[in-house]
Structure 1
Amino acid sequence: MSMNGEYLRVTPAELDRALKEPEWAWNLAEEILDAQAEGEPAPAEARHFTTHQTWHLLGFLLQRLAFPVDVVHGEEPLTTDHWGYGPPQYLTPEQVQLAADTLHRTRYDQLIQGVDPSELTKAEIYPQIWDSPASLEWASDLFTPLTEFFRGAASAGHAMLIWID
């Protein structure tokens, strides 16, 4: 079974309710994932986004740049209940805006500049596929859509729920 980075855009009112009723938030996430499975909206319009298995690599690369927001795990706990591999966390609308602005100014080639694949192996970055410099390009196809997803959420004033499933 693989581990995937999951994101759900929520309005400030939905975040307030999710903080009071985490089970309601889980049901909302399931409803949105089911509805979105019917058709794949553009990342800027989507309510749900996944970085699939690239979440750990992206987190490692962003942390190296001292990224101001943890866009892989979130900043604040939503609940202690597990939504897969641990509890979900969230970002406030202000944190989403900061992340969106910073992601927009960041290019993927900046993220991988100076990274040796052996660093990823040593850091036990999931999944263990770091056998060549070309493996660093693995997450490049998801970085731009992730940026678009955050920009869409920020422009709508949304918060974000984040979990590993």
Structure 2
Amino acid sequence: MVLIGYRLSPEQVAAVRADPTAVDTLLYGDLDDDEAEMPEPELDLDKSWHGIHYLLTGTEWRIGEGAGAAILGGVEIGQDGGYGPPRLLDRATVRAVATELDALDVETLGARFDPDAMTAAEIYPDIWTDGAEALDYLMAHFVELRRFYNAAAANDQAVLVAIT
């Protein structure tokens, strides 16, 4: 399971709200065209998504406000691809997420890393006993998450995220 994300213009948001099946095309390309390539995500958190969510919220699945909405927040839209439907975060939510992610530095977030608690909570993937290597993996992806939301907020865009 990996988390991918796309920044959406107001026109794209209107299109997916009018026709939620358009979400699949945004995420996976034209599945009816054997020659079509899958669109490259603008955010690829790989398998770090659940660990980052845990560091942001201190919980396995609870969705918080601000930075706590970065991974699992938003409104479900489109079809369930096997790990829950994609989620759409509107422009106001994206700005709030970006602001709070900016307020967190790698050291502050890294101080929340507790391999034993994350293993006990069954945070995906089960790599937390790898210690510093697992923390480095999370922090590298956290920096990418922050960059993605900052770019979306700066361009007044919404965000579509999906676990695939």
**TM-score range for the pair, normalised by the shorter chain length:** 0.7 to 0.9
Higher relative contact order (CA 8 A, sep 6+): 1
Paired AA for residue 55 in structure 2? L
Alpha-carbon deviation of 1:136? 2.4
- 1:50-95 CA deviation, whole Å, 9 max, x = no partner? 100000000000113965241112221113x213411111100011
Superposed, 1:94-105 pairs within 5 Å as 94-105=92-103
Residue matched to 2:142: 143
- Equivalent of 2:22 in 24, 27, 31: 24
Residue matched to 1:64: 58
- Equivalent of 1:133 in 131, 134, 143: 131
Give 4+ residue runs of structure 1 displaced > 4 Å after superposition.
none
TM (norm. structure 2) is: 0.83
Structure 2 residues not aligned, in runs of 5+? 31-36
Residue matched to 1:50: 44
Residue matched to 1:116: 114
Residue matched to 1:6: 4
Paired AA for residue 119 in structure 2? T
Residue matched to 2:91: 93
Q: How many residues align?
A: 152
Structure 1 residues not aligned, in runs of 5+? 37-46
